[in-house]
Structure formats: structure tokens, C-alpha cells
């Protein structure tokens, strides 16, 4: 059975007091409610250790928003897979579109990061998705295919099963515009099909593929009910317990 996941990407939001408050609310919510999915968060890097302290029973997965493609050394400002492993983090987001847009991330560097994360026992959440121009030009299926192949297809079958993919159309991130459940399902099935062609259906059926892009309490249930959608990567709506918990309940 594929894992079902709701993951919150906090991006560059919240000071330490507000971060501690939301983590505590989340922990209490998780401990007092039955959830039908795993709950993960990716807070800013400086709050990762605080998250590990607050979620002391590992009831919520703790992810960084990015990690370096290098093992260690003179890379100012970077965070290594080794550091994440040493605090017992769950994994890292890799290739988020904002990292691609503002920090020159590409699928070649994602490939290195995914491999490094796996080598350290971390779960890579590999993000991909087309821009609005690419969708308008009818290139979305090809774009996502190339991204997936470049970033992931050097992995073994055992390795790719451990990767979580987040399909996030760039035009739907933080814009309030959401892919329709049918549009998202089409791409998710397409990604699973590409993986099946290379690794076989059994392997492809084990890879969790999340949808990201303006998921909100009122559209989560319908999106998550699609056969190839295994949960969501949530930005803005992960910043308030009321919204995030309702999205988690999209699996109830
Ligand atoms: C994201 O940042 O991954 C995201 C999906 O953001 P939002 O939910 O705000 O569109």
C-alpha cells in the first residue's frame, strides 16, 4: 500500500514564537485525532531541531525545504544530508519550484540531492511541474516526463520506491489557482506510467505522488480522492492549524 501523506511547506514564514505555537498545536491535534494519512512539515531550517524536540514521539515527519548537492565543505548557507541525518530528520524537499526559480536549481542538481538523501536514509520529496507557458503550449506531459527521468532515473528500483514525488504545476503555487482534480490525476497517472515503463508496474504502484498547488480545506477531499493522488504538499494553507487540519481530514 502506498503511503498517504499531507505535508506542509512553511517556506520563509513565522518567527520562533509563532513556529513553536503552530508545532505545538499540530502535535496536540495529531495526538488527539485519528488521521488516515501521515503528517509531515518542512519548517525553515533554523526550526528543524525545535520540531524534533516538540514531536518527540515522531508523530509528525520533519523535513528541510532543501539540502545541498554536496556532502560537506565550503558551501556557505547550505545544509547537508549528513546534518539532517544527525538530527534524525525524516527527509528533505528537493527541487521546489521556488528553489528552481530563485536559486538556479535544476534536475541535474536534484538528481544528486535525491541520491545523497537516499544514501543517508532520508526521504527525498522530489518536486516537479510545468510553468503556465509550457501548459499553454501543450508541453506539460513532456516537461514532467523529462524532469522525472533526469532527476530520478539513475536510481535503482529499490531506491525509487523510497522517493516521494510532488507534482506542483508552477501556475498553481501560491496563486489561488488549482489544477482541477482531473488535470492533476492526468499528470499523476502519466508520472506513474513513466515509472512503470522503466521499473515495472509493481514498483510504480509503490511510489507516492503528492499534488501541490493551492490545496485548501474546500478542495482537498476531491483532489485526494483521485486514484493516483496520494496526498498533498501544502504551502499557504499549512500555516494555520484550522486549515491544515481540515486538509488532513480530506482523507477521512
Ligand atoms: C508549495 O509551496 O509547495 C505550495 C503548493 O504552495 P501553495 O499551497 O501555497 O500553493
Task: Please answer whether residues 177 and 171 qualify as being in contact, where contact means their C-beta atoms are separated by less than 8 angstroms.
Answer: yes
Pocket test for ligand 1, best of 215, 217, 243 (most atoms within 8 A of CB): 215
* Cα separation, 227 vs 242, whole angstroms: 26
Instruction: Categorize the per-residue pLDDT at 4 as very low, low, confident or very high, splitting at 50, 70 and 90.
Output: very high
Tell me the Cα Rg of the chain.
Answer: 17
The closest of 213, 65, 192, 188 to 131, measured between CA atoms, is 213
Which residue in the block uniquely carries the three cell numbers 521556488? 98
Q: Of 98, 168, 188, 190, which residue is the catalytic one?
A: 168
Mean pLDDT of the chain: 97
For residue 41 and ligand 1, the question of a CB distance below 6 A is answered with no
Q: Which atom of ligand 1 is nearest to the CA of 93?
A: 3
CA of 233 to the centre of ligand 1 (A): 7
E strands, 21-154, are 38-42, 61-64, 91-94, 123-128
Protein residue whose Cα sits closest to atom 8 of ligand 1: 235
For residue 233 and ligand 1, the question of a CB distance below 6 A is answered with yes
E strands, 73-120, are 91-94
CB count, 10 Å around CB of 227? 9
pLDDT of residue 177: 81
* Cα separation, 46 vs 12, whole angstroms: 11
CA of 36 to the centre of ligand 1 (A): 21
Pocket test for ligand 1, best of 169, 233, 238, 247 (most atoms within 8 A of CB): 233
Q: Is the pLDDT of residue 155 over 90?
A: yes
pLDDT in tens, 166-177: 999 999 988 888
Instruction: Categorize the per-residue pLDDT at 74 as very low, low, confident or very high, splitting at 50, 70 and 90.
Output: very high
96 is annotated as an active-site residue: yes
Domain of 86, CATH number, reads 3.20.20.70
Domain that holds residue 157: 5-249
168 is annotated as an active-site residue: yes
- The domain total for the chain is 1
pLDDT in tens, 116-152: 999 999 999 999 999 999 999 999 999 999 999 999 9
For residue 212 and ligand 1, the question of a CB distance below 6 A is answered with yes
* Residue with the larger pLDDT of the pair 1 and 120: 120
Amino acid at each position: 500500500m502506498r503511503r498517504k501523506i499531507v505535508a506542509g511547506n512553511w517556506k520563509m514564514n513565522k518567527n520562533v514564537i509563532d513556529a513553536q505555537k503552530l508545532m505545538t498545536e499540530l502535535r496536540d491535534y495529531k495526538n488527539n485525532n485519528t488521521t488516515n494519512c501521515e503528517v509531515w512539515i518542512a519548517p525553515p531550517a533554523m526550526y528543524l531541531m525545535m520540531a524534533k524536540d516538540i514531536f518527540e514521539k515522531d508523530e509528525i515527519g520533519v523535513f528541510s525545504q532543501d539540502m545541498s548537492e554536496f556532502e560537506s565543505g565550503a558551501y556557505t548557507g547550505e545544509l547537508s544530508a549528513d546534518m539532517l541525518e544527525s538530527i534524525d530528520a525524516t527527509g528533505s524537499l528537493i527541487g521546489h519550484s521556488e528553489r528552481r526559480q530563485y536559486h538556479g536549481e535544476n534536475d541535474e542538481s536534484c538528481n544528486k540531492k535525491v541520491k545523497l538523501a537516499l544514501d543517508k536514509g532520508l526521504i527525498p520529496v522530489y518536486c516537479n511541474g510545468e510553468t503556465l507557458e509550457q501548459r499553454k503550449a501543450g508541453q506539460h506531459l513532456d516537461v514532467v516526463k523529462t524532469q522525472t527521468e533526469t532527476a530520478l532515473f539513475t536510481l535503482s528500483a529499490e531506491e525509487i520506491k523510497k522517493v516521494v514525488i510532488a507534482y506542483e504545476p508552477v501556475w498553481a503555487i501560491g496563486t489561488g489557482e488549482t489544477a482541477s482534480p482531473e488535470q492533476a490525476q492526468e499528470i499523476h497517472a502519466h508520472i506513474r506510467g513513466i515509472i512503470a515503463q522503466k521499473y515495472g508496474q509493481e514498483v510504480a504502484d509503490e511510489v507516492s505522488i503528492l499534488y501541490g498547488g493551492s490545496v485548501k480545506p474546500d478542495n482537498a477531499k476531491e483532489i485526494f480522492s483521485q486514484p493516483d493522488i496520494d496526498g498533498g504538499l501544502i504551502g499557504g494553507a499549512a500555516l494555520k492549524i484550522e486549515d491544515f487540519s481540515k486538509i488532513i481530514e480530506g482523507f477521512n
